[in-house]
Amino acid sequence: MATLEITDLHVSVDTEEGSKEILKGVTLTLKSGETHAIMGPNGSGKSTLAYSIAGHPKYTVTSGSITLDGEDVLSMSVDERARAGLFLAMQYPVEVPGVTVSNFLRTAKTAIEGEAPKLRHWVKDVRSTMDELRMDSTFADRNVNEGFSGGEKKRHEILQMELLKPKFAVLDETDSGLDVDALRVVSEGVNRVQGNTDSGVLLITHYTRILRYIKPDRVHVFVDGRIADQGGAELADQLEAEGYDRYVPTGEPAAFTGA
């Protein structure tokens, strides 16, 4: 069983006004096969946690630790983190002109595994996974995220997750901008990965609707860079009913943004 452990994590980002602390001591542990949902008002540090795990250079870890099976994640480069088994589905996937989806996926798989997958089996795997995500076969010949709709970008993120089979996947608002059908397809993809590989999932979301398809084992409420509350799946239902107001100072309402 693999373990991703975050201990007393403090993270800052440079702004025009100087360095600003975003995460102010976050501690949580995610194990293989578990799904943890991260919820909270805008600006509470949810995406900062995701990018800090992945190694985005914009974010500076000032103290605390992130370990994967006891290994220091913070000492790893971005590509080393990916090879160690970490995966980030980005909130805003970037376009990569001139690189087709098929070339991108095979190159990524080769980099992570250390050798190129057998072409015949790889093509079969890609096609079957695309079929399950209800993606047209011509999708593989398009440039990465270039001209993709919001839903296509998110399906492509899950396509990567299914093919790369990470130990831990951080999904940063993968549900945003999806209609009901696309949400169901994407959720089924995440559940398939967990069923086939026992991956751990850290699911960052504003909306409880995706939690109807992907059942969390734990829910963590982020407010002002800290975990203000945590509990089981029932906590998400409570947040939908009551919002975040009880976690923020009087006079600073934080309306729940979920459906």
Phi/psi at 142 (nearest 5 deg)? -85, 155
Look at residue 255 and tell me if it is in a domain.
no
Look at residue 257 and tell me if it is in a domain.
no
Look at residue 27 and tell me if it is in a domain.
yes
Look at residue 69 and tell me if it is in a domain.
yes
Look at residue 189 and tell me if it is in a domain.
yes
CA distance 1 to 203: 19
Residue 170: pLDDT over 60? yes
4: number of Cβ within 10 Å? 24
Look at residue 130 and tell me if it is in a domain.
yes
CATH number at residue 141: 3.40.50.300
Look at residue 191 and tell me if it is in a domain.
yes
Q: Domain of 69? A: 3-247
Beta-bridged to residue 223, according to DSSP, are 226
Helices 101-113 and 119-132, packing angle to 10 deg: 120
Look at residue 113 and tell me if it is in a domain.
yes
Could you read off the pLDDT of 183-239 as tens digits, one per residue? 999 999 999 999 999 999 999 998 789 999 999 999 999 999 999 999 999 999 999
Kindly tell me the sign of the dihedral angle through the C-alpha atoms of 16, 17, 22, 25: positive
Beta-bridged to residue 87, according to DSSP, are 169
pLDDT at 177: 83
Total number of domains in the chain: 1
Could you read off the pLDDT of 42-100 as tens digits, one per residue? 889 999 999 999 999 999 999 999 999 999 999 999 999 999 999 999 988 999 999 99
Could you read off the pLDDT of 110-163 as tens digits, one per residue? 999 999 999 989 999 999 999 999 999 899 999 999 999 989 999 999 999 999
